[in-house]
């Protein structure tokens, strides 16, 4: 019973000092903010809302830290970019990161989730879609499919000749 009273008393002291702001309960944290986020195809400068499979994409993020009342560039070496659909498909340590879009269609997110002790957390998400190629973005007749084309046209020719022979010859 004596133990219960000592725990309750310690809790009461902590709560009263917290309410009266006598003690600082959290250590000082360094303030971080995201200044700018850009993503685009390599070789272009315009940001895209959709990409096609196997595009080379460049992702850039500017993170700043508050130091002596002035926002200065933050050079965290462990900031990680994730290119996520359901689970992360591309994970890269980033500053200015280039990667290739996976060969799977869908809606993806560029996600930067930085949560380290001593820093304010950063959570930045941008959605993009990966769409299939348009009909004019790939070859109409593929050289590897020539055997299929030949077999399809030979079947049409054979059916035409068979119909002609069957209908007009006794």
What is the chain's pLDDT, residue by residue, as a tens digit (170 residues)? Answer: 455 567 777 777 777 776 766 544 455 788 999 999 999 999 998 998 999 998 999 999 899 998 888 999 998 888 888 888 877 777 777 766 888 998 889 999 999 988 888 889 999 999 999 999 888 887 777 889 899 999 999 999 999 999 999 999 87
pLDDT of residue 140: 78
What is the rounded distance in angstroms from the CA atom of residue 25 to the CA atom of residue 17? Answer: 10
Q: Which two tokens stand for residue 57?
A: 């994409």
What is the rounded distance in angstroms from the CA atom of residue 92 to the CA atom of residue 82? Answer: 7
What is the rounded distance in angstroms from the CA atom of residue 98 to the CA atom of residue 102? Answer: 13
Query: With 0-12 CB in 10 A as exposed, 13-18 as middle and 19+ as buried, what is 116?
Result: middle
Would you say 36 and 67 are in contact if contact means Cβ atoms under 8 Å apart?
no
From residue 63, alpha-carbon distances to 75, 83, 87, 103 in Å are: 8, 18, 25, 30
Buried b (16+ CB within 10 A) or exposed e, 75-88: ebeebebbbbeeee
29 phi and psi angles, rounded to 5 deg: -115, 150
pTM above 0.75, yes or no: no
pLDDT of residue 82: 87
CATH topology of domain 32-130: Immunoglobulin-like (2.60.40)
What is the rounded distance in angstroms from the CA atom of residue 110 to the CA atom of residue 157? Answer: 53
What is the rounded distance in angstroms from the CA atom of residue 83 to the CA atom of residue 105? Answer: 13
What is the rounded distance in angstroms from the CA atom of residue 84 to the CA atom of residue 109? Answer: 5
Q: What residue ranges do the domains of the chain occupy?
A: 32-130, 139-170
């Amino acid at each position: 019973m004596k133990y219960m009273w000592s725990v309750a008393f310690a809790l009461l002291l902590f709560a009263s000092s917290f309410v009266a702001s006598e003690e600082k309960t959290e250590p000082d944290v360094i303030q971080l903010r995201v200044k700018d986020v850009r993503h685009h195809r390599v070789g272009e400068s315009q940001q895209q809302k959709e990409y096609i499979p196997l595009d080379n994409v460049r992702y850039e993020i500017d993170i700043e830290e508050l130091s002596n009342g002035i926002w200065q560039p933050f050079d965290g070496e462990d900031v990680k970019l994730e290119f996520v659909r359901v689970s992360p498909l591309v994970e890269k340590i980033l500053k200015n990161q280039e990667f290739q879009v996976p060969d799977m269609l869908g809606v993806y997110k560029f996600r930067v989730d930085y949560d380290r002790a001593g820093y304010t957390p950063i959570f930045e998400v941008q959605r993009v879609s990966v769409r299939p190629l348009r009909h004019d973005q790939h070859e109409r007749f593929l050289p590897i499919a020539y055997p299929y084309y030949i077999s399809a046209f030979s079947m049409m020719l054979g059916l035409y000749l068979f119909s002609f022979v069957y209908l007009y010859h006794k």
